[in-house]
Amino acid sequence: MDFKLISISRHRLTTDGEGVTSLVALAGCPLRCPLCINRELLALGKVHIVSPEKLLENVMKDYCYFVATGGGITFGGGEPLIQADAIIDFFKIRPEGININIETSMNVDIPDDKLKKICEETTMLIIDTKSTDPGLYKKYTGLENERVFKNLEKIKEFGFEDKCILRVPVIPKLKDKETALKEKEYLISKGFNNINVFPYIIRDYMDKEALNR
């Protein structure tokens, strides 16, 4: 299965996983977050169709950095898990010594066997939970968050919760720090201990009015 690829950002340091990483941005996302910094990625117009072999050839330029620093590739986007088949094909050909991380919202319809395979082969799953509150989640993303919890329950059932970093954002005008800390406690009660509360920062290039709509 080929990738629908937007871009590859090389030589990232400790921003999306251990060591030096290349961020492989995949196209498409079912969510519509107002503060999305990847809007251009969501427009499917500029997509490159790339085979797993071709992607490997490209990222191998940095193999020495990956091995020396314990780094590797981070699939992000967009929502990389809507391209789970291509990622699973990539697992089959990756050489030893390359870590693979995935940045995801987990709001994807993915069969259990594929989710399990993803968990087995991935070094770290970095999951942006947005909000555990269904109302806040829908207000911010436009979708329900039932699938997120269904997938988190499966990950726990498979025993891969320690591979997960659950990100709990403080969202301007929508969710304050106190609420985020309560959400953290809720996720701990669900069996996930690696939780990162952090603020979304509004940058100059973002649509500042989006949160008022």
Q: Does 31 engage in binding with ligand SF4 (CB under 6 A)?
A: yes
Taking the C-alpha atoms of residue 182 and residue 161, their distance in angstroms, rounded to an integer, is 19
Q: Is 101 in the site for ligand SF4 (CB under 6 A)?
A: no
Task: Give me the helix-helix angle, 112-121 and 146-158, nearest 10°.
Answer: 60
CB 200 within 8 A of CB 172: yes
The nearest distance, CB 75 to ligand SF4, in angstroms, is 12
Cβ burial 23-58 (10 Å sphere, 16+ → b, else e):
bbbbbbbbbebbbbebeebbeeeebeebebeebbee
Q: Is the Cβ of residue 71 or residue 169 nearer to ligand SF4 in the bound state?
A: 169
- Cβ-based burial of 92 (10 A; exposed 0-12, middle 13-18, buried ≥19): exposed
Number of residues that bind ligand SF4 (CB under 6 A): 10
Find the binding residues for ligand SF4 in span 49-78 (CB under 6 A): 77-78
Q: For ligand SF4, which residue of 3, 23, 73, 79 counts as binding (CB under 6 A)?
A: 79
Binding residues among 130-149 for ligand SF4 as defined by CB under 6 A: none
Q: Does 177 bind ligand SF4 (CB under 6 A)?
A: no
Q: Is 36 in the site for ligand SF4 (CB under 6 A)?
A: yes
Q: Which residues bind ligand SF4 (CB under 6 A)?
A: 29, 31-33, 36, 38, 77-79, 105
